Structure 1
């Protein structure tokens, strides 16, 4: 049985990706980096080892900005869409909203990072049933 290939990309389509499953560590995060990177109070992520992510669009790899001592935020230089984060581990964390099928059950968040930064008016459900 072959592994699933997940596809997605930016708003304008210049940056496209294919990530070969399984999807790892789907989660939400409310840290200030994620909030500022996405413009949302919480970001939804899924991780893949770097060798399982291929950049397939005409824009090739996304542009990056070094956001911490272990990670760079990835975005499309043409349209500005946030794509994810390219970590030093090597891991590529892709924003779930950028996938062609963001409702795939494999992307259901398993946990929530930096819950203390989440606005009290925002409810975030994870697979563990925690809010």
Structure 2
């Protein structure tokens, strides 16, 4: 599967459906070439399927107004796209995905720290023999 398609899917998380569709069509045209008409796709079905199995998605559908395009893609590539879509690249995206909302209230005042004796590990404590 072409990396450009993965990038397009990841970038689509916050976009409208129309923008996502336009972006996907553009990316798939870059990867697999111009869309095929339904007739050409029927005539060359074996070749279309072979390209899809080799990781090259194919657009099928025409320039007729109102006719929606379809994509021929292998199941393996579809699974990879689903995994890519659910992976977040940044901490912010991961927090957004779980619905995190930052605190928007007043400032939180934190008092000055108090000097305390440093914590010691059990191995750092002086032994009874050296303490005498």
TM class, shorter-length: under 0.3
The structure number with the bigger radius of gyration is 2
- Per residue, is there more helix in 1 or in 2? 2
- Per residue, is there more strand in 1 or in 2? 1
RCO comparison, higher one (Cα < 8 Å, 6+):
1
Q: TM-score, normalised by structure 1?
A: 0.26
Q: TM-score, normalised by structure 2?
A: 0.26
